Amino acid sequence: MPLLGRDVVLVDAVRSPFGRAKPDGLYAHTRADDISVAVVRELLHRHPSVVPDRIGDVAIAATTQDGDQGLTLGRTVGILAGLPRAVPGYAIDRMCAGAMTAVTNVAAQIAVGAIDVAVAGGVEHMGRHQLGAGADVNPRFVAERLVAADALVMGATAENLHDRYPRLTRARADSYAEASQRKYAQALADGHITGDLVPVAVPDPERGWGLATADEPPRPETTVAAMATLPTPFRPGGRVTAATSSPLTDGATAALLMDAETAESLHLQPRMTLVSYAYAGVDPEVMGVGPVPATHRALELAGLTMDDIGAIEINEAFAVQVLAFLDAFDIDDDDERVNPYGGAIAVGHPLAASGVRLMSQLARRFAERPEVRYGMTTMCVGLGQGGTVIWENPHHDASTRVGAADSRQEEVTR
């Protein structure tokens, strides 16, 4: 049953190839809004039955809303993508959960009948706009001890998680990070990645125009042995390294959402159906635990337990943050439900764009795993938040079963 009125479905989700945020990176000479325009155009091109006039809103997120990431992105990207002037749009900032919030915001609009169709996504050009660049942080945060000084440094909050939970060792983090790289490389080889990628034209002042077609951040040669030699930049003698952190990344994502009846009338096959979502706040000093209370709340709203969840896509801001989530729900580090195609440690984390990347990967897994009925996308958020969205698989085959709850029921039946 939908939480609010109408069923909301995700018809499709796409993304640009992700680039490294550096002077010679994939998008070093490309505007952030142009990357976003490319994915929105492709999203609509893939679904010609969606008449642009029917789009009720465009929500595009960015964490650093400045320069080519400013000026109400949803509106400007919509116009640049060729949408009718009558289609409104707006910008969103919930840091890392920007695109996730864009999706849940428009989903709420659709659920209550305010609109029928929407585009939601995010973009981040970290090569041009570093996290916190230009921000004037109120000195009261530290002066009045509202948060610790290191709460504003994401890597330091990851070190704090290691401190708070001794079971979250560097060895575990290194092992998890190596697995993320390995799983992404295998998923790429098996064809699980490229289907959602949108080629983006990229200029270069020396070589002319080129085409971005593949992710730049992955390092498939990464090994645990090599990681052990890396420095810990956030604390002398610490445990967080570049290898166990998501790299600074440029990229954009976009999703097409509508109510189920509209999708049926347009002869569109939904990739996922939204079940519930929740956001929660935690101490900024340990922002990585944010997905835990958000997930508890989303499960409660859906009337489900973690045993019902057959597929989990969690953003890998830091390996230790993922491990904290897994321990909280008594999930093994190598549980096959979790990020089987790798995650942000390998592919990158263009902040506000990442939420829809999680959704596109979950949707692909749903299509390949009809035995899975429910899945979730979840992520931590800077300054102490977490967000979780629970989805249902429209391809679910009730004759198959998956998950711990099903296994227990089978044993009882025997």
pLDDT exceeds cutoff 60 at 407:
no
The residue-averaged pLDDT of 396-413 equals 55
Q: What is the pLDDT of residue 142?
A: 84
Q: What is the pLDDT of residue 332?
A: 98
Other CB atoms within a 10 A radius of the CB of residue 351 amount to 30
Q: Distance (Å, rounded) from C-alpha 36 to C-alpha 43?
A: 11
Active site residue 29: no
CATH of domain 8-129+147-392: 3.40.47.10
Other CB atoms within a 10 A radius of the CB of residue 130 amount to 13
Q: Distance (Å, rounded) from C-alpha 200 to C-alpha 16?
A: 7
Other CB atoms within a 10 A radius of the CB of residue 138 amount to 10
Active site residue 129: no
The residue-averaged pLDDT of 250-260 equals 98
Q: What is the pLDDT of residue 216?
A: 98
Q: Distance (Å, rounded) from C-alpha 73 to C-alpha 353?
A: 13
Q: How far is residue 319 from each of residues 112, 151, 369, measured CA to CA in Å? A: 38, 18, 26
The residue-averaged pLDDT of 262-272 equals 98
Residue 175 pLDDT level (bands cut at 50, 70, 90): very high
Q: 106 near 120, Cβ under 8 Å? A: yes
Residue ranges of alpha helices (H) inside 134-238 are: 140-143, 154-164, 170-189, 224-227
Least confident range of 1-5, 74-78, 336-340: 1-5
User: Of these residues, 129, 349, 395, 396, which one is catalytic?
Assistant: 349
Q: What is the pLDDT of residue 152?
A: 81
pLDDT exceeds cutoff 50 at 412:
no
Instruction: State pTM to two decimals.
Output: 0.94
As a 3-state breakdown, the chain gives helix, strand, coil percent values, each rounded to 5, of 40, 20, 40
pLDDT exceeds cutoff 50 at 297:
yes
The residue-averaged pLDDT of 327-332 equals 98
Q: What is the pLDDT of residue 387?
A: 98
Q: 33 near 78, Cβ under 8 Å? A: no
Q: What is the pLDDT of residue 402?
A: 53
pLDDT exceeds cutoff 80 at 405:
no
Least confident range of 171-175, 203-207, 282-286: 203-207
Taking each helix axis from N to C terminus, what angle separates 73-80 and 32-45, rounded to the nearest 10 degrees?
60
Q: Distance (Å, rounded) from C-alpha 314 to C-alpha 272?
A: 17
Q: What is the pLDDT of residue 237?
A: 94
Residues 6+ apart with CB under 8 A from 239: 159, 162, 169, 170, 173, 232, 320
Going by C-alpha positions, the residue among 99, 3, 139 that lies closest to residue 315 is 99
The residue-averaged pLDDT of 356-378 equals 98
Going by C-alpha positions, the residue among 97, 93, 94, 57 that lies closest to residue 78 is 57
Q: What is the pLDDT of residue 151?
A: 85
Q: What is the pLDDT of residue 206?
A: 85
Q: What is the pLDDT of residue 401?
A: 61
Averaged confidence pLDDT in the chain: 94
Residues 6+ apart with CB under 8 A from 142: 148, 149
Query: Where along the chain do its domains lie?
Result: 8-129+147-392
The residue-averaged pLDDT of 326-345 equals 98
Q: What is the pLDDT of residue 2?
A: 46
Q: What is the pLDDT of residue 291?
A: 98
Q: Distance (Å, rounded) from C-alpha 58 to C-alpha 71?
A: 14
The residue-averaged pLDDT of 18-33 equals 97
The residue-averaged pLDDT of 211-223 equals 96
DSSP string, 333-383: TT-TTB-TT--HHHH---GGGHHHHHHHHHHHHHHH-TT--EEEEEEEETT
99-114: per-residue pLDDT in tens? 999 999 999 999 999 9
Q: Distance (Å, rounded) from C-alpha 253 to C-alpha 35?
A: 9
pLDDT exceeds cutoff 70 at 325:
yes
User: Of these residues, 125, 192, 380, 396, which one is catalytic?
Assistant: 380
Active site residue 192: no
